[in-house]
Structures are given as C-alpha cells and as structure tokens.
Chain A
Amino acid sequence: MPGSIRPVSVVWVVLVCLLFCSRLLSVGAAPICTNAQAGCHALSLANLFDRVIQHSARMHGISNDLHSEFEQYFLPSKNQIGRVSRNCHTSTIFTPNGKENAQRMARQELTEVILKLLVAWRDPLWHFHQSIAHHHDFNNFSANKALEMSDMVHELRKGVEKVAEKMQMMGIISNSVSSLASPEALLPSDSAEWRLMKDYDLLYCFRRDSNKVQNYLKILKCRIVPEHGC
C-alpha cells in the first residue's frame, strides 16, 4: 500500500507546485508595463516622480540638519562659507546653475546630471558615515543620520533610474543614455579627491548637491508631468 501511495502523492505535490509556480511566474512575467498593455498595475510616471521627489526632499532635509549640527559643533563663524576654499569633488559635473539654464537643458541631460550626482556621492557618504560612527565626538543621533543619508542616496539613485527607464519606455527620452547602463562611468577620474575633504566640507558639498538634485527632479517633473503639485 505505501508503495502505491507514494507515487500518487508525488504526482499530487508536483501538480500543486506547478499550479502555484505558474501563478507566481505569471505575476513576475510582466516586470514593466507599457501604456499599451491593459490590466497592468504599474505606477504612473507622475506617481514615480512624486515618490522620487519626496525622497530627495527628505534627503536634503537630513543633510541640512547634519550640516547645521556641524556648524554649531565646529566653531561656527559668520562667514564660514568663505573658508571653503576647495571645491567639491562634484564641481566637475556640469550642472545648470540657474532656472533658465535648467529649463533649457534637455530632459535627457538633466536626468543624466541627476544620476551622475547621485552616483558620485555614494562612496563619499558611506565613508563619511563610517568616520562619524567611529568618531566618538559625534553622538548616535548624528551617526544614524549619516547612515540614513547614505542609504537614501542609494535608494534615490535606484528610483531615478526607474524613472529614467519609464521615460525611455514612454519615449520621452531617447535610449542612448549610456550612464544608465554603467553607472561607474559617471564617476570622475579623480574619484579619490573626496577622501581629502574634511567631514564638514563633505557635508557642505553634499547639502548643496542634494538641493540640486531636488531642484532638478522637480523641474523635470513639472516639465514632463505637470498635473499635480506643480
């Protein structure tokens, strides 16, 4: 009797597995939905943009908080900004410095700029967090913020990449964005420059760059999908 039951049970299990697996596969079979497909539950571009913009705003807020903490901590003076003699390592990345310049820039270029910035700050922030965590001068609150900040940069980059993909699918931007394929190519050649920067300068630079990212994303959104919140 058990001998006859065993193959039956095996067959039964296989059948069940096939059923469930087919279901799972069917769900995962359509990773990206185009507009032409019906019954797709993918997010809209505006929704994606909103999420990304919120993310960047939060990131900028954290960087601002950290920077103000550092300003209080490290001998603040009235013209602190004057002491920043060296440029940030991301100064080589060409970024529009004004509204008109940003609006005049092509969407594709703007997206590339955003991605470049985000990619450029991945390593420095990680090291910054490491230095803060090991440095006993900082409390845990600052260390946590630094960690959060580095994670956010990482997540934001992924989000922007998704937005870029969707835009490429929708035909808003061309498919010739090479930065999406290999993010490491975006890094400047002298990538080790940031290691020479002090923590405060890093924070200062990152605060500025996070503001840039936030601005560029908003401009991009209001240019492409200006329905809500523009």
Chain B
Amino acid sequence: MAVFSSSSSSSSSSSSSSSSTSNLLLLLLVSSLDWLSTRGSVFVMDHMTSSAPVGPHFTECISREQETFRCWWSPGGFHNLSFPGALRVFYLKKDSPNSEWKECPEYSHLKRECFFDVNHTSVWIPYCMQLRGQNNVTYLDEDYCFTVENIVRPDPPVSLNWTLLNISPSGLSYDVMVNWEPPPSADVGAGWMRIEYEIQYTERNTTNWEALEMQPHTQQTIYGLQIGKEYEVHIRCRMQAFVKFGEFSDSVFIQVTEIPSQDSNFPFKLALIFGVLGILILILLIGISQQPRLMMILLPPVPAPKIKGIDPELLKKGKLDELNFILSGGGMGGLSTYAPDFYQDEPWVEFIEVDAEDADAAEKEENQGSDTQRLLDPPQPVSHHMNTGCANAVSFPDDDSGRASCYDPDLHDQDTLMLMATLLPGQPEDGEDSFDVVERAPVIERSERPLVQTQTGGPQTWLNTDFYAQVSNVMPSGGVVLSPGQQLRFQESTSAAEDEAQKKGKGSEDSEEKTQKELQFQLLVVDPEGSGYTTESNARQISTPPNTPMPGSGYQTIHPQPVETKPAATAENNQSPYILPDSPQSQFFAPVADYTVVQEVDSQHSLLLNPPPRQSPPPCLPHHPTKALAAMPVGYVTPDLLGNLSP
C-alpha cells in the first residue's frame, strides 16, 4: 500500500493533468480491486470455514536441509476421510513440459505426512501437490505449488552455550558471549546452505523477548545484562535472503551473581584494620609509659630558640623589644649565671650561651682589640664576669665549640690571670693611674681586685713589655721578684723615682721619707697562690727599712721598699699580692741580668740570687761593689756580694 501511495504522489506531481487524473483513477481502481480481493479471499475462507467444514488440505510442506521435504495434510471437517488411506497425495514436478502427477513416494499415515527423499527432491523446480480421495476426487481448487528453496526451514542450531566476557566497573552489568553450532542437518560446509542466525533473550519468566540483529556467524555478544537477574536465551536460523525461519532451539539460562573478586579485597581490608589498631596501641603505650628516652627517640625535641636565662615566652613572635632589652643587659642583667632556669624539664636542651656582657665590658672588649690585650688584661673590676676576654663560653655540656678565641677556661681563675700579668715586667701607666690603683689595692681587700689594674690605663704600655720576665728574687713573703725588661728600665727610671716618693708619702703604715730615692730594686711581689713562702713575721721584716740590715743574717735580702712593702703587706693580708712592675731607678738595675741563679735559700726562706754580671767595663768594677760581681761567675750572687750590691 505504501507503494501505491508513493506512486500516486509521484504521479500527482507530474505535469500533465489529464493523464494524471486517468492514472489516478486507474490506480484507485487497482488498489480497490486489490483490497477487495484480499478481503474477498478472507471472506471466502471465512465463509468456507463457517459455512461448510473445511475440506482436506495441506497444512504445510517443509524442507529442513534443502534436500528433502515433507508435507502434512489434514482432512479438515471431513471426518469420514480421517482414516488412514482415505486421502492420497499426488504431486506434479514441473521439470519438463510433459510431466505428470505422481503419488507420494512415502507415506506416514500416522502423522499424515508425505515424505520426499533425496531422489524425489529437486530444487528450483516447482512442485504442485494435490489431495485426492479414493475415487480420484480432488478436494482443492488450487494446487498447492512451491519450490523447494522457498519452503526451507532449517533446524535450530545446537550446542548453545555462553561465556562471561567482562563485568562493568560498577559491578552492575556484564557482557556475555554466546556461541553455538549450525544445525547438523544443514550442509553448511559444502556451501549448500547459507544460514543466518537470530538470538533472542529475555528475563526469566517473562515473555518480553528481545531479538538481536541477524548475522551469519556462529557467535554473538549480548551486552548489558544485569547482575543477579536470570536470563533465558534461544536461537533460530533461516536461509539467507529467504523468509522462513526454523524452529527455536532449547533455551539456555544465563545468570551471574555477585562478583567473586571480593576475595582479593578482603585481606586488604583486614590488613588495614590490623594496621590501624597496631598503630593506636603503639601510641597508647608510648603515651602511658612516658619514658623520656622513648619520647626523645620518637618525638625528638624541635629545635627552637632557647636561650638560657630568657623566658621562652619572650622568644615568641612579637616580643622583640623585650628580648633586645634583656640581651642588652637591662634590668638585672638578663643573662647572668643566676638567671632562672626556664628549661628545667627539658634535660636535653642544649644552650649556646651568648656572651652578652654589659655595655662597658663590651666597650672594653672593643678597646682591647687584639687577643694580646685580652691576654694581658687583668680581670675587670666593674663586672664580675668570669668570661673576661672570652668571647664565648660554653656551659654544660662542655664541648670545644665556640671557643676559638678563648683560652683555656682554667685560666679563668683570677689568680692565674694575675700571675700572668705580674710575670710581665710591664710598666706602670702614665700618671697616677697606677697610683690610684696602688692606693686602692690596700683599701680594697677583695681578692678580685688585683694590682694588675694598674695597667688598665695604658694598654699601650703592654705592647712594649716582654712576655717573659726573669725572676730576680723570691721574697720570704713568697713573692717573686722579677727583673723588668731592659728596655724599659731607663725610661721609667725617673718616673719610678717619683712614684717611689709618692708611694712613700701615701703609705699609711710607714713613715718613710720620700727622699729615699735609692731604690735598689723595685721588688715585685707576687703571690700567685696566696700562700706565700713567708710568714707574717717575715713580711714584717720585709717591711722594715731597707737600711736596716737583716738581723742575724749576713745576707741582705732584697726586700722591697717600705712602699712596696705596703703592697706586700697588703698583699700578705690579701691572698694575692699586688704587682708593681716597676723599673728600677738606678742604673744599677741595668746590669741586672734576666736570669739569676738561685744560690742559696737562707733561713728565712729567701732565695739568694747571684747578682747579674755587670755590663760596665771591667775597669769600673773595683769602684762599684758590683764589680766584685764580675769576678764571680755569671749569675751567681754570693751573700757577701749582696752587700756590695746595695749602694
């Protein structure tokens, strides 16, 4: 009918009007006839069925493999013809113009079937079938004619099975590959039949069959099946380019339940749970035990700024001003050794001590400049730091870091410092600085106030001093007499006399005259350890006027001047005597050798030293008592010569 409508539309679009109208009328007539004929045939059939019983007829003729075919008939309403043999089948094979009707070669009366074997089957040749009664009465108006290739209905395929192709990542659907074998009766191998297949599937217990596209291969993929549901699949086939399908095969059921891949995930989950539990238990144990060592291993301290003596709160952000204030020495002096310990509970905290001295000390440090100065400087009176001259000091724990500019901390001892200072035949400073210091020396009885401070005024003088001084004599009081440097003796000779006078005048214990300028020696008394070799009695003896010869002693000890005894006395009182590195006034000192040999130790525990050899020309020797020294071996001073030494 579609052909008609389309053709009519095409015809209507033609240009000629009269021809178009006639054609249209013709078409309408033809279509009406067609419709009527169809209706009529149906009507006739209905009439036949309704009015009279249906006569014997062929139900169907089918060929399975295009080599044989069968025909079935039915008696219809004529029950008297239902007995076997009442109806006979005759066929006409139109392979030649003069063909004739033949009877069915093989009957099967039980099934009312006529079977045509291979010998009686010819393809592409029309067959016409007839049903005849006993008396050669044909019961059909029209013959039932066909050609064999048009009645082929292949057998259903065999060996239908399926395999799982894949499962979607969501785990909800899957694909299945279905494969089968062609029907064994159909000779596909020889190429005699070309078959195409059609698969249909549906959910079980439903009749909503879904058909896939027809294709000639013996396998096909079904996509999008859902997990958990059961599917029913069957297949049928037909000849290519023909219409009639064969029977459906037996159904095959497909069902895929849960994915079996859970097994791979299961140990993973278990391992994860166990791991988490183990970590939790570990954390609990650590938290409960609170072992400091363990804590240190597991949770090592985070290096943060920790300055000893400074509240860690100040080290936090935003408190720079306070920190600067403390570091600059404000208030109590923030970084003293007596600073509160802020990190008591953190025994592993290491401090790098910043040597944040006071401003004065800092200035002094700057003034002193080189290490030499610092080495030779006495400890500062203003500040009582231990770290004099030491840029950095490392407290506990004591490792050697940061002490490159520092000397041995053992020398922090004030006494040692003083010892070193007194050993040097340095000169007293210009002016009265030394005097002041000397004065202060007896007044201040603090062991930490050495006479070394006389040198504080003039560091420059130290540059001219020798590092090494010769011990001239050791006093009974325990002091060591050093011979000053030869260079400086002449320089200081005049000033030394003045000093001598001043010292005499300022002396509180003695009333010595200042006129004594005959200063033989400037005795330097050093008591390094505070434990002198002499007793107090000896010290007093020393304090006697020098002209007074020593009682009961042919020796004349070289004792310091009364002035000097003062410091000696004071020194005696004090633990550490003061050092007066003075240069001898007289040139008698010139010939004093740097090294003197200790000749004897008298009963007063004083060392008798040999006078140094005289450097004056030998002719002068007889004048001076010292000349006698020349005769003596160098470096030895006999007791009788000692008297000669004194003027």
A residues sitting closer than 8 Å to B (CB atoms) are 57, 60-61, 64, 68-69, 72-73, 75, 77-79, 81-82, 84, 87, 95, 97-100, 102-103, 136-140, 142, 208, 211-212, 214-215, 218-219, 221-223, 226, 230
Besides A98-B67, A102-B192, 11 new A-B residue pairs in contact (Cβ under 8 A), listed by A number: A78-B41, A79-B142, A84-B126, A97-B122, A99-B66, A137-B27, A138-B3, A139-B3, A208-B149, A215-B192, A218-B194
User: Which residues does chain B contribute within 8 Å of A68, judged by CB atoms?
Assistant: 243
B190 x A103 contact (CB < 8 A): yes
A215 to B239, CA, bound (A): 12
User: Which residues does chain B contribute within 8 Å of A97, judged by CB atoms?
Assistant: 95, 122-125
Interface of A is mostly: helix
Q: Which residue of B lies closest to A88 (CB)?
A: B124
How many residue pairs between the two chains, A and B, have CB atoms under 8 Å in the bound complex?
97
A136 x B11 contact (CB < 8 A): yes
Known contacts A72-B3, A99-B187; decide if A57 and B194 are in contact (CB<8 Å).
Answer: yes
For chain B residues 185-242, which have a beta carbon within 8 Å of chain A?
Answer: 187-192, 194, 240-242
A208 x B147 contact (CB < 8 A): yes
A223 to B189, CA, bound (A): 10
Known contacts A99-B192, A136-B23; decide if A75 and B37 are in contact (CB<8 Å).
Answer: yes
User: Which residues does chain A contribute within 8 Å of B118, judged by CB atoms?
Assistant: 98, 100
Per-residue interface assignment for chain B, residues 141 to 155, with 1 indicating a CB less than 8 Å from any chain A CB and 0 otherwise: 011111101100000
For chain B residues 1-27, which have a beta carbon within 8 Å of chain A?
Answer: 3-4, 6-7, 10-11, 14, 23, 27
A12 to chain B, nearest CB (A): 58
Q: Which residue of A lies closest to B239 (CB)?
A: A211
B146 x A139 contact (CB < 8 A): no
Q: Is B352's CB within 8 Å of the partner chain A?
A: no
Q: Which residue of A lies closest to B19 (CB)?
A: A136
A84 to chain B, nearest CB (A): 7
The 10 closest A-B pairs by CB, nearest first: A218-B191, A97-B122, A222-B191, A82-B145, A81-B145, A79-B142, A61-B241, A99-B192, A139-B6, A64-B241
A228 to B163, CA, bound (A): 25
A60 x B191 contact (CB < 8 A): no
Known contacts A99-B190, A230-B189; decide if A137 and B124 are in contact (CB<8 Å).
Answer: no
B126 x A81 contact (CB < 8 A): yes
A107 to B258, CA, bound (A): 58
Tell me which of B11, B34, B67, B192 has the highest count of chain A C-beta atoms within 10 A of its own C-beta.
B192
A230 to B94, CA, bound (A): 32
A222 to B191, CA, bound (A): 6
B66 to chain A, nearest CB (A): 7
User: Which residues does chain A contribute within 8 Å of B37, judged by CB atoms?
Assistant: 75, 77
A82 to B242, CA, bound (A): 19
Q: Which residue of B lies closest to A210 (CB)?
A: B241
User: Which residues does chain B contribute within 8 Å of A103, judged by CB atoms?
Assistant: 190
Could you list 14 A-B pairs, sorted by A, with CB under 8 Å? A60-B241, A79-B142, A97-B95, A97-B124, A97-B125, A99-B67, A102-B192, A137-B7, A137-B27, A140-B10, A212-B124, A219-B192, A226-B189, A230-B190
Tell me which of B7, B123, B149 has the highest count of chain A C-beta atoms within 10 A of its own C-beta.
B123
Q: Is B502's CB within 8 Å of the partner chain A?
A: no
User: Which residues does chain A contribute within 8 Å of B10, judged by CB atoms?
Assistant: 136, 139-140
A130 to B145, CA, bound (A): 31
B238 to chain A, nearest CB (A): 12
User: Which residues does chain B contribute within 8 Å of A137, judged by CB atoms?
Assistant: 7, 27
User: Which residues does chain B contribute within 8 Å of A95, judged by CB atoms?
Assistant: 124
A138 to chain B, nearest CB (A): 7
Q: Is B121's CB within 8 Å of the partner chain A?
A: yes
Q: Which residue of A lies closest to B95 (CB)?
A: A97
Q: Which residue of A lies closest to B150 (CB)?
A: A81
B192 x A218 contact (CB < 8 A): yes
A75 to B37, CA, bound (A): 8
B124 x A208 contact (CB < 8 A): yes
A82 x B143 contact (CB < 8 A): yes
Checking A81, A100, A142, A230 against B191 with a beta-carbon cut-off of 8 angstroms, the contacting residue is: A230
B191 x A221 contact (CB < 8 A): yes
B241 x A81 contact (CB < 8 A): no
A90 to chain B, nearest CB (A): 10
User: Which residues does chain A contribute within 8 Å of B243, judged by CB atoms?
Assistant: 68
A69 x B192 contact (CB < 8 A): no
Q: Is B634's CB within 8 Å of the partner chain A?
A: no
A79 x B194 contact (CB < 8 A): no
User: Which residues does chain A contribute within 8 Å of B146, judged by CB atoms?
Assistant: 81
B414 to chain A, nearest CB (A): 111
User: Which residues does chain A contribute within 8 Å of B192, judged by CB atoms?
Assistant: 99, 102, 215, 218-219
A82 to B11, CA, bound (A): 33
Q: Is B81's CB within 8 Å of the partner chain A?
A: no
A207 to chain B, nearest CB (A): 9
A222 x B189 contact (CB < 8 A): yes
A64 to chain B, nearest CB (A): 5
A29 to chain B, nearest CB (A): 36
A142 to B191, CA, bound (A): 30
Per-residue interface assignment for chain B, residues 103 to 132, with 1 indicating a CB less than 8 Å from any chain A CB and 0 otherwise: 000000000000000100111111010000
User: Which residues does chain A contribute within 8 Å of B34, judged by CB atoms?
Assistant: 75
User: Which residues does chain B contribute within 8 Å of A211, judged by CB atoms?
Assistant: 124, 149, 241
A204 to B527, CA, bound (A): 149
A186 to B360, CA, bound (A): 136
B145 x A79 contact (CB < 8 A): yes
Tell me which of A97, A212, A214 has the highest count of chain B C-beta atoms within 10 A of its own C-beta.
A97
B134 to chain A, nearest CB (A): 25
User: Which residues does chain B contribute within 8 Å of A79, judged by CB atoms?
Assistant: 142-145
B7 x A57 contact (CB < 8 A): no
User: Which residues does chain B contribute within 8 Å of A208, judged by CB atoms?
Assistant: 124, 147, 149
Q: Which residue of B lies closest to A138 (CB)?
A: B7
Known contacts A81-B146, A82-B143, A219-B190; decide if A98 and B7 are in contact (CB<8 Å).
Answer: no
A86 to chain B, nearest CB (A): 10
A57 x B240 contact (CB < 8 A): yes
Q: Is B444's CB within 8 Å of the partner chain A?
A: no
A78 x B142 contact (CB < 8 A): yes
Q: Which residue of B lies closest to A137 (CB)?
A: B7
A82 to B536, CA, bound (A): 168
Q: Which residue of A lies closest to B45 (CB)?
A: A78
B241 x A57 contact (CB < 8 A): yes
Q: Is B33's CB within 8 Å of the partner chain A?
A: yes
Q: Which residue of B lies closest to A91 (CB)?
A: B95
A82 to B14, CA, bound (A): 37
Q: Which residue of B lies closest to A215 (CB)?
A: B192
A98 to B118, CA, bound (A): 8
Known contacts A57-B194, A72-B3; decide if A77 and B126 are in contact (CB<8 Å).
Answer: no
User: Which residues does chain A contribute within 8 Å of B6, judged by CB atoms?
Assistant: 139
User: Which residues does chain B contribute within 8 Å of A214, judged by CB atoms?
Assistant: 194
B23 to chain A, nearest CB (A): 6
A46 to B201, CA, bound (A): 36
A194 to B161, CA, bound (A): 51
User: Which residues does chain A contribute within 8 Å of B143, judged by CB atoms?
Assistant: 79, 82
Tell me which of A87, A98, A230 has the highest count of chain B C-beta atoms within 10 A of its own C-beta.
A98
A100 to B68, CA, bound (A): 12
Q: Which residue of A lies closest to B144 (CB)?
A: A79
B356 to chain A, nearest CB (A): 97
Per-residue interface assignment for chain B, residues 81 to 100, with 1 indicating a CB less than 8 Å from any chain A CB and 0 otherwise: 00000000000001101000
User: Which residues does chain B contribute within 8 Å of A221, judged by CB atoms?
Assistant: 191
Tell me which of B150, B240, B241 has the highest count of chain A C-beta atoms within 10 A of its own C-beta.
B241
User: Which residues does chain A contribute within 8 Å of B122, judged by CB atoms?
Assistant: 97-98
A48 to chain B, nearest CB (A): 15
A81 to B37, CA, bound (A): 17
For chain B residues 48-81, which have a beta carbon within 8 Å of chain A?
Answer: 66-67
B482 to chain A, nearest CB (A): 118
B527 to chain A, nearest CB (A): 121
Q: Which residue of B lies closest to A222 (CB)?
A: B191
Q: Which residue of B lies closest to A100 (CB)?
A: B118
User: Which residues does chain B contribute within 8 Å of A215, judged by CB atoms?
Assistant: 191-192
